[in-house]
Structure 1
Amino acid sequence: MLGLTLTGVRSLVAVGAHPDDIEIAAGGLLLSLAAASPGLRVHYVLCTGSPDRQAEARAAAARFLPGAEITFALHELPDGRLPAYWNDVKEILHGAVGVLQPDLVICPAPNDAHQDHRLLAEQTPTVFRDQLVLHYEIPKWDGDLSRRNTYIPLPDDVARRKVELLHESFPSQKARDWWDDEVFLGLARLRGMECRSRYAEAFDCSKATLTFVP
C-alpha cells in the first residue's frame, strides 16, 4: 500500500450530527493533528444535542485537541429528524464556511445507515467545494460498516488514548450496550490490519488532487 503524506493542515472543520460522533469516528485523527500542528484552528459543528450533551462535546474537544484554537457552532435540531430540517442544516454548514476556510473537513460517510449522518454526508461536500473532505465511519447497531479507501494509521498509544478519552468525555453514554473498549479498539484493529498497521481509522475520500513535487 502506497502511503501519501498530508502536510500543511493548519485548520479543520469537524461536522457531526450528534455529540460524540466526531470523537468515536475520528478521535485518533484529532489527537494526531493536534500533536502535529501546534496552533491548529478547529471549528466544531454539531446539529443536535441537549445542553448537557453539548457540554460533553465542548469538554471532549478540549481533551482531544490540546493546544488547538477551537470554536463551536452547537445546535439543538431534533435528533433523528435532520432530513426534515434540510434547509436549516444547509444554513448551519454555510455558517461554518463564514467562520473558517479550512484545509481539511471531516463529516459522516454517505453510506451511513443513520438518516442524520447521511444528510450531512450529502450536504457537506456541496458547501466545502475547495477543501479536502474525509468521510468518517461510526460503528452502530445497524451494521453499516463497509469498504473504505483512506486510512490513518494510529500508534498503539494514540488508539488507546482515544478510547480513554471517550470514556472520560461522554459519561452519559456508558450505559449503552455497545459502548466499550472492544468495540472501539476492535474496529481500529480491523482497519489497521487492512492498511498494515496495528490500529487505524478509516475514511472515504470521493475527490482529491495529487501534486508531484520533485
Structure 2
Amino acid sequence: MIDLGLPTGDLRVVCLAAHPDDVEIACGGTLLALAARGGVSASWLTLTGSADRAAESDAAAQAFFPGATTEHATFPDGRLPQHWGDVKATVEAFAVEHPADLVLAPRTDDAHQDHRLLGTLASTVWRDALVLHYEIPKWDGDLRPQTHYVPVSARDAQHKWGLLDEHYASQRGRDWWDSEVFLGLLRLRGMECRHRYAEAFSVSKAVLSL
C-alpha cells in the first residue's frame, strides 16, 4: 500500500456539515492531525441546527481545530433537498470567501438526504480542491467500502471521543452515542489500512503528480 501525502506548506481546509457534529464525528482524528501539522487554516459551514446546537458546534470546532472560523445557516433539518436552490447559493457564497485546497464533505451516497445533497454540491463548487467524502455511522447501516484512509494515533482516537462527548452534550441520550461506536469504527478502518485506528473517505477524482 502506497502512502499518498498532502502537499507541504500552507493548506486551506473547508469543512462542510449538514448538521452540527457531522464533521467532528466523521473527521475528528483527521482534524486533530491537521491542526497539529501547522500552516493549516480551517473554515466550517454548517447548514442546519438550532442556536444551542450551533453553540455546541462552535465550541467543538475550536477544540478540534483552534482558530477555525465557523458559519451557520438555519435550513430545516431533514429538508435540504426541498431548499436546493438556496442551499446551493449558500454554499457558493461561502466558497467565494473560503477557497480551499482540501474539502471535507459528506458522501454522495449517504443514506441521509441532507448529507447526499451537500456531498454532491462540494465537488461542483470547489472544482480545484481535493474533496474527501466522509462517512458517518448511523442507524440506517450505510457504511460501504472506502477508497482513502487517514491513520489516527491511539492518543488522537481517544481525544476525538473525549471532545465529542464533552462538546455535544445534547447527543448523550442517544443510544448510538458511546465510545464503542466511534472507536469501533476507527479500529475497523484502521485494520483495513494496517494501522490501529483510521478514518476512511471516498474520493471520486484525484490527480497524482509523478
Task: Using structure 1 for the length normalisation, give the TM-score.
Answer: 0.95
Query: How far 1:100 moved relative to its partner?
Result: 1.4
Of the three residues 131, 136, 139, the one matched with 1:138 is 136
Query: Which residue does 1:21 correspond to in 2?
Result: 22
Of the three residues 93, 101, 104, the one matched with 2:102 is 104
Q: Secondary structure at the match of 1:42?
A: strand
Question: How many residues are treated as equivalent by the alignment?
Answer: 209
- Indicate conservation of the 8 Å contact 1:16/1:107, yes or no: yes
Aligned pairs for 1:25-174 within 5 A? 25-38=26-39, 40-66=40-66, 68=67, 70-174=68-172
Q: Secondary structure at the match of 2:144?
A: coil
- Indicate conservation of the 8 Å contact 1:43/1:96, yes or no: no
Structure-1 separation of matches of 2:7 and 2:165: 30
Q: Secondary structure at the match of 2:75?
A: coil
Task: Using structure 2 for the length normalisation, give the TM-score.
Answer: 0.97
| Structural RMSD (CA) | 0.9
Instruction: Provide structure 1 residue ranges, at least 5 long, that are not aligned to the other structure.
Output: none
Partner letter of residue 2 of structure 1? Answer: I
Structure-2 separation of matches of 1:121 and 1:98: 18
Structure-1 separation of matches of 2:190 and 2:21: 22
Instruction: Provide structure 2 residue ranges, at least 5 long, that are not aligned to the other structure.
Output: none
Structure-1 separation of matches of 2:110 and 2:98: 26
Partner letter of residue 63 of structure 2? Answer: R
Query: How far 1:7 moved relative to its partner?
Result: 2.2
Structure 1 runs of 4+ aligned residues shifted over 6 Å read: none
